[in-house]
Amino acid sequence: SKVTYTDSSGRVYTVDATVGESVMAAAVKNGVPGIVAECGGNCSCATCHVYVGEEFAHLVGGPGDMEDDLLDMAVSERRDTSRLSCQIRVTQELDGLAVEIPPDQP
């Protein structure tokens, strides 16, 4: 499945993600800058924050409880489409998924 990451300056990175891995892991593996993922995907750092593209938001769904708390602590502004990318699993249906990387990911 393809995942496209757009950073705050408009640079676009499209990667081939494996079904079953997280949107965070696909970014890190392919060297997409701005997905820091300090905790390595344990849902405890909030440095893998992304904004899910509007057209995919309903497919991706909302955050879980723990993720919800963490998103409140993310450095960049939280939006309705905010998710932690380590908690989004790549699936066939999500092929073409577009996410935006927030401006300040420490």
Q: How far is the CB of 66 from ligand FES (least distance, A)?
A: 9
Q: How far apart are CA 74 and CA 69, in angstroms?
A: 9
Q: How far apart are CA 50 and CA 52, in angstroms?
A: 6
Using CB under 6 A as the criterion, what x/- string covers residues 10-39 for binding ligand FES? --------------x------------xxx
50 counts as binding ligand FES under rule CB under 6 A = no
3 near 20, Cβ under 8 Å? Answer: no
102 counts as binding ligand FES under rule CB under 6 A = no
Pick between residue 32 and residue 45 the one whose CB is nearest to ligand FES.
Answer: 45
Alpha helices in 4-93 (DSSP H): 23-29, 54-60, 65-71
Q: How far apart are CA 32 and CA 48, in angstroms?
A: 11
Pick between residue 10 and residue 60 the one whose CB is nearest to ligand FES.
Answer: 60
**Residue closest to ligand FES (Cβ):** 86
84 counts as binding ligand FES under rule CB under 6 A = yes
